[in-house]
Structure 1
């Protein structure tokens, strides 16, 4: 069915099969995140650092600024920064 209006065109289509679509295009399909298995011999803070790295890599500019600011303030408070 097609409807033509002054400011839009409405086109209604019926799917050939009644299967459920998770997305309209392949690029909209989000891969399932896999949780790595727990390894007691691994450093506990490594998981947090990996999570922060992933958030930084996938985040927008504001997220990157927030993470960088928190990291810098944490480093300065712990005395890890260079003091001249």
Structure 2
């Protein structure tokens, strides 16, 4: 009754359980589009949390976290390392 057939990705015709249907578990992974990426960075700049961003664009918090980490601006980290080297706190 509450079971739905999965789309035939890779020839699989497994049935989803009721819990999976309600929680959207086992869904096919999709890439973020350009608009979603822009929204993530714009909302992050506006000091929104990863959870808020995820709910707004309809993806998991883990997806937002991975996107932010994958494309993180390393400039600030580099500046801190250079400053530490100048002060003699860090060694190469």
In which range does the TM-score fall when normalised by the shorter chain? under 0.3
The two structures have a TM-score, normalised by structure 2, of: 0.24
The two structures have a TM-score, normalised by structure 1, of: 0.25
- If asked which structure has higher relative contact order (CA below 8 Å, sep 6+), I would say 2
More helix by share: 2
